[in-house]
Amino acid sequence: MVSFEKDEYEKLIDSSSLFTLDKEKERTAYKREALKMVEYLYCYLMAINKSKYEPYGVEIVDTAKRCIKNYNLESGRFLNYFTSAWKKTYGHVIGNELIKETYKGIHFTDGEERNLKKYMKLAHTMGINTDSPEFDERVAEAMGISVNEVDVLRKMIYVKPTSDSYTNDEGKEFSIINQIDCGEYTGEELVNLENSKEFLDLLELVYDQLQARQKPMIAMLITTKIAVLINEETRIYEYAKQKAYYDEDIFIESLRRGEQIPAKEIAGKCGVLEASASRSWKTFKDKIKTGNGRRK
């Protein structure tokens, strides 16, 4: 049904007479078609993924209006033009929300916020150890800043006000990472906590700093360890699906079994020894605790 609706709105957008009208001589008709186009574009995105885009109605409308105003026939197909513009807008919106949610309570200047987002993106895409001199030099060159400024951005990562440890309603402190690691799901503390999203953010923050070769196996391990725990919690599940470490195949297989996939099996999938997988997971957990220890 969603695919059919998407096709229908795509046809309406492509067949619109909007860009054949003269803005001045046919002003009334132009305004009418422009309003229809905004509606078509909004509905097109809703047909693609309503749950993902519905919260950003204002941004969608603003982007649609801006595209209509700036578009010319030489720019190619209008829908492609809009889709490209929306992708950039959505990326900015999500980036801003990530900074605000991840570092709430901490004030950054506009410049610091922009640089922090750039730094996090480069850390995610370069595939280089973020603690290496090579990473610092490449980021400094890419961002046009000094190596010392790169070091400052790295330290900003560790002022994140979150933790892998929480206190439940009975006043007992426990570690989420230890809970999911041993497969104890009976308490279900993670899914009942308001800051569960922050814990998933913490996992991603550390994951993003891994070397590219380490990421596939760690992603499988994280996914299988949280799968059963979050499956029936729709909002947390949808949030986890957006994370860089989420592995759909591992998630489905974990649910099919009703338990974690053994580290030995995941190690085999990645062509490494079980001992190596265990060491990598321990190092990952230690980095989570270290990052938390450096927070303010």
- Domains of the chain, by residue range, sit at 2-95, 103-157, 165-293
- Whether the pLDDT of residue 112 is over 60: the answer is yes
- Supply 221's token pair: 């391990």
DSSP collapsed to 3 states, the chain: CHHHHHHHHHHHHHCCCHHHCCCCCCHHHHHHHHHHHHHHHHHHHHHHHHHHHHHHHHHHHHHHHHHHHHCCHHHCCHHHHHHHHHHHHHHHHHHHHHHHHHCCCCCCCHHHHHHHHHHHHHHHHCCCCCCCHHHHHHHHHHHCCCHHHHHHHHHHHCCCCCCCEEECCCCCEEEHHHHHHHCCCCCCHHHHCCCHHHHHHHHHHHHHCCCHHHHHHHHHHHHHHHHHHHCCCHHHHHHHHCCCCCCHHHHHHHHHHCCCCCHHHHHHHCCCCHHHHHHHHHHHHHHHHHHHHCCC
Kindly calculate the radius of gyration of the chain based on its CA atoms and give it in whole angstroms. 23
Task: Give me the pLDDT at residue 220, please.
Answer: 95
Say if CB 221 and CB 266 are below 8 A apart: yes
Least-confidence region, from 120-124, 156-160, 175-179: 156-160
CB atoms within 10 A of CB 270: 17
Q: Phi/psi class of residue 132: alpha, beta or left (left: φ > 0; alpha: ψ in -120 to 50)?
A: beta
Angstrom CA distances, 124 to 43, 57, 61, stand at 32, 28, 30
Q: What is the pLDDT of residues 208-226, one digit of tens each?
A: 888 888 999 999 999 998 8
**pLDDT on residue 187:** 42
pLDDT above 90: residue 283: no
Q: What percent of the chain shows pLDDT beyond 70?
A: 73
Confidence band for 124, pLDDT divided at 50, 70 and 90: low
Q: Where does the pLDDT of residue 104 fall: very low under 50, low under 70, confident under 90, or very high at 90 and above?
A: low
pLDDT in tens, 33-62: 999 999 999 999 999 888 888 888 999 999
* CB contact at 8 A, 163 and 196: no
Supply the pLDDT for residue 231. 75
Nearest alpha-carbon partner for 250 in 228, 282, 281: 228
How does pLDDT run across 227-263, given as a tens digit for each residue?
Answer: 877 777 778 888 889 899 999 999 999 888 888 898 8
Higher pLDDT among residues 164 and 2, named by residue: 164
Residue-wise pLDDT tens digits, 67-89: 999 999 888 999 999 999 998 88
Q: Check whether 199 has a pLDDT greater than 80.
A: no
Contacts of 81 (CB under 8 A, 6+ apart): 67, 71, 75
Chain mean pLDDT for the chain: 79
